Amino acid sequence: MRKIVAGNWKMNGTRENLVEIKKISDRFSGSDVDIVICPPFTLLSAAKEIATNIFIGAQNLHVENSGAYTGEISAVMLEDLSVTHAIIGHSERRNEYGETNDVVARKVTTALKKKLNVILCIGESELERNENKTLSVLKEQIYGSLKDITDIENIIVAYEPIWAIGTGLTPSLAEISTTHDSIRLNLLEMYGSSASNIPILYGGSVNGLNASEIFSVANVNGALVGGASLSFDTFSPIVKAIENKT
């Protein structure tokens, strides 16, 4: 199983922050971890030039490859930059921009056609968690977001409890275990034994202090990191933690 740590910079970063990507790339040359940094669109080209030892991904893409879609970015454009990954279905896209499972599924299809690695995000709200709906919500998102997808070689699933993103809160290890086991079961139900190779990442206030414990949980194959990925100093301990996972 691949070990993966992906950093989602969200709407942060200017050219002066590229030095952090360079530090990460230089420090983890030869690592057995797939390291992916997803900076804003404005930095993708420059990041590709300096990130010789890690992968560069996008935070979103449009369902169409071209057209009158002002302000959007297509998979064709990402392919032109040799971008390798794309985050799709992040909770902020689902909640702030109304992206439904159907929209997410269309984006996944578009990305896979251009051979992009898809980091598919799923997660429950605090209300859904309090109502004990976490597992059913995640199952609905998995089935809906992967609708009609048969080629799963480039699929990565990232579980991010919405209530934990940027709050400093994390589920208990037992909760993470139950959730990731359920996600694995859903994938196996959909795709059979081949789904055992789909990496499942945890996201939601991951940091250098809790990463080792989180990575000790079965079916946690890496992390999708938010704010801590903006700095080499806060991101590198997370990568080191999963490097030590056996």
Beta strands in the chain, from DSSP E residues, in sequence order: 3-8, 33-38, 55-58, 85-88, 117-122, 155-159, 200-203, 222-225
204: Cβ contacts below 8 Å, ≥ 6 apart: 123, 160, 161, 164, 165, 169, 170, 171
Annotate 96-119 with b (16+ C-beta within 10 A) or e (fewer).
eeebebebbbbbbbbbbebebbbb
Active-site choice (20, 92, 124, 160): 160
d(CA 28, CA 231): 14
CA gap 229, 206 in Å, rounded: 10
Does the annotation mark 160 as catalytic? yes
In whole angstroms, give the CA distance from residue 199 to residue 1. Answer: 7
Q: In 11-123, which ranges are continuous DSSP H helix?
A: 18-27, 44-50, 75-80, 91-96, 101-113
> Which member of 62, 85, 90, 180 is catalytic?
90
Asked if 207 and 170 count as a contact pair (C-beta separation under 8 A), the reply is no
- Known catalytic membership, residue 79: no
Dig out the tokens for 92 from the structure: 């902020």
- The helix/strand/coil state of 121 is strand
Q: Which residues are catalytic?
A: 90, 160
